[in-house]
Structure 1
Amino acid sequence: MRALVAAAIGLAAALALVFTVAAVGSPAGETSPKPLLTTVPGPKR
């Protein structure tokens, strides 16, 4: 029974965190026009 209560409390806390982040939304800003490097640059020829 204690495990069930603990699981319910944990689930409620996780959902509260998800809903809080969803309500706040993403910060305003712009994406960088420069592409990200996905590989390590090799030696220059």
Structure 2
Amino acid sequence: MRALIAAAAGLAAALALVLTITAVGTPEGRTSPQPLLTTVPAHP
């Protein structure tokens, strides 16, 4: 029974966090038009 209560409390906390982030919305700003380079470009 304690495990069920702990799982329900964890699920409620996670749901509250998701709803809070959704309510706040995305931050203002713009993204860079250049793609991110994750590797070193190959030299010809």
Alignment: residue pair count: 44
1:21 counterpart SS class? helix
Letter in 2 for 1:10: G
User: Equivalent pairs: percent with the same residue?
Assistant: 73
Q: What whole-Å deviation, never above 9, does each CA across 1:1-41 have from its counterpart, x for those lacking one?
A: 00000000000000000000000011001111222224421
TM-score by length of 1: 0.81
Larger Rg belongs to: 1
Query: Where in structure 2 are there 5+ consecutive unaligned residues?
Result: none
CA RMSD of aligned residues (A): 1.4
Query: How many Å separate the matches in 1 of 2:8 and 2:35?
Result: 44
Which aligned runs of 4 or more in structure 1 are off by greater than 6 angstroms? none
Structure 1 match to 2:27: 27
